[in-house]
Amino acid sequence: MNNVFVICEVDEGKIADVSLELMTKGRSLANQLKCKLEALVLGHNLKGIEKELYPYGADVVHIGDDERLDPYTTLPHTSVIVDLFKKEEPQIALLGASTFGRDLGPRVSSALQSGLTADCTSLEIGPHEDKKAGKTYEDLLYQIRPAFGGNIVATIINPDCRPQMATVREGVMKKEIYDATYKGKVSKIEVDKILKPEDLVVNVIERHMEKSKVNIKNSSIIVSGGYGVGSKENFNMLYELAEVLGAEVGASRAAVDAGYAEHERQIGQTGVTVRPKLYIACGISGQIQHTAGMEESSMIIAINNDPNAPINKIADYAITGDVGEVVPKLIKFYKQNTK
């Protein structure tokens, strides 16, 4: 009882990366709290899915396998999860801030009146003292996220309602195998006994999935451009540098807003979170909303004509100069050296 739960998302028969990232986080929270980590998977044809979750430290994998749960629709998923949570009373429930999690999380939390913190950037366990009420809490979930337009980093707690629910965007937490030989157990959910006709009023007739050609998240090198690049045409030199390096092109929000790059390339708080081996920031000032999405890159090279640009504080190498001059030189140099 009172364990840590991760509501997992299934993507074409595989557990979504964001769910595995949360399993990794959930395992470390459960270790701190000295409780179990439980995963919850709903869908159809899920035979053997638990094997994907055990290596991430799942003690129990709850599986609801029913054709009415695939494809995902809000109502049946909500009913099954609410029913399970009423019985299991988790202390923490985590899910990805994906389209799935953004739709499902609020439904579940409002049915349980638990509250939910969306888009957390960090999750920790800690105490809290409510002096007014004269109460002390030992192990609360600190749900940490930027607030007020990113001007503060807020730590949100939920002392009284359970579960403490939070969503986290893909890439924010690290996915790491806990123990390749870890073995938990399966708990089958009797979906038939839970679903009611009113849960099944939505019938998905057809699905159309648009696959993005941009793959920033999995790229080990990213050449990223900001407003300082100056124009959409100037971004072409970033594509050229990226091609030479086998990299992907990213962008700041200011560059996206100015129409220099597509939104799916945006890196930062309201874009993608990345951890490449090399991040080359071209004409990017380094505001917190941007750095939140790339500061864990193994190496950062900043190219900026302002020697005092904030990005230089987190850069391993800072090149002070005009992107229009520096980037062509890099292309020339790398081309020469890869011949």
Residue 306 within binding range of ligand FAD, rule CB under 6 A: yes
Binding residue (CB under 6 A) for ligand FAD from 167, 271, 297, 318: 271
Residue 227 within binding range of ligand FAD, rule CB under 6 A: yes
Least CB distance to ligand FAD at residue 227 (A) = 3
Q: For residue 176, give every residue at least 6 positions away whose Cβ sits within 8 Å of its Cβ, in sequence order, or none.
A: 24
Binding segment for ligand FAD among 128-136, 185-193, 209-217, 305-313 (CB under 6 A)? Answer: 305-313
Binding residue (CB under 6 A) for ligand FAD from 270, 275, 278, 314: 270
**196-232: string of b/e by CB count within 10 Å (b at 16+)?**
eeebeeeeeeeeeeeeeeeebbebebbbbbbbbbbee
Q: Are 276 and 316 in contact (CB under 8 A)?
A: no
Given the DSSP bridges, would you call strands 10-11 and 4-8 parallel, antiparallel or unpaired? unpaired
The pair phi, psi for residue 10, each rounded to 5°, is: -105, 130
Binding segment for ligand FAD among 50-58, 77-85, 88-96, 247-255 (CB under 6 A)? Answer: 247-255
Residue 105 within binding range of ligand FAD, rule CB under 6 A: no
Residue 285 within binding range of ligand FAD, rule CB under 6 A: yes
Closer Cβ to ligand FAD, 164 or 291, answer by number: 291
Residue 234 within binding range of ligand FAD, rule CB under 6 A: no
Binding segment for ligand FAD among 127-135, 196-204, 210-218, 282-290 (CB under 6 A)? Answer: 282-290
Residue 283 within binding range of ligand FAD, rule CB under 6 A: yes
**Measured distance CA(87)–CA(89) in Å, rounded:** 6
Separation in Å, CA 184 to CA 56, 58, 86, 87, 91: 10, 6, 22, 20, 19
Residue 25 within binding range of ligand FAD, rule CB under 6 A: no
3-state secondary structure 82-112: HHHHHHHCCCEEEEECCHHHHHHHHHHHHHH
Residue 309 within binding range of ligand FAD, rule CB under 6 A: yes
Q: Are 90 and 2 in contact (CB under 8 A)?
A: yes
Binding segment for ligand FAD among 26-34, 64-72, 78-86, 281-289 (CB under 6 A)? Answer: 281-289
Least CB distance to ligand FAD at residue 105 (A) = 20
Binding residue (CB under 6 A) for ligand FAD from 94, 95, 254, 331: 254
Binding mask 110-139 for ligand FAD (x = CB under 6 A): ------------------------------
Binding mask 140-169 for ligand FAD (x = CB under 6 A): ---------xx-------------------
How many residues lie near ligand FAD (CB under 6 A)? Answer: 30
Given the DSSP bridges, would you call strands 164-168 and 116-120 parallel, antiparallel or unpaired? parallel
Q: Which of 154, 184, 216 is nearest to 6 (CA)?
A: 184
Least CB distance to ligand FAD at residue 149 (A) = 4
What single DSSP character describes residue 18? H
Closer Cβ to ligand FAD, 166 or 303, answer by number: 303
Residue 250 within binding range of ligand FAD, rule CB under 6 A: no
How deeply is 30 buried, as exposed, middle or buried, from its count of CB atoms within 10 A (0-12, 13-18, 19+)? buried
Return left, alpha or beta for 259; rule: phi > 0 is left, psi -120 to 50 is alpha, else beta: left
**79-101: string of b/e by CB count within 10 Å (b at 16+)?**
bbbbbbbeebebbbbbbbbbebb
- The site for ligand FAD (CB under 6 A) is made up of 149-150, 226-228, 252-255, 266-271, 283-285, 287, 289-290, 293, 303-306, 309, 322-324
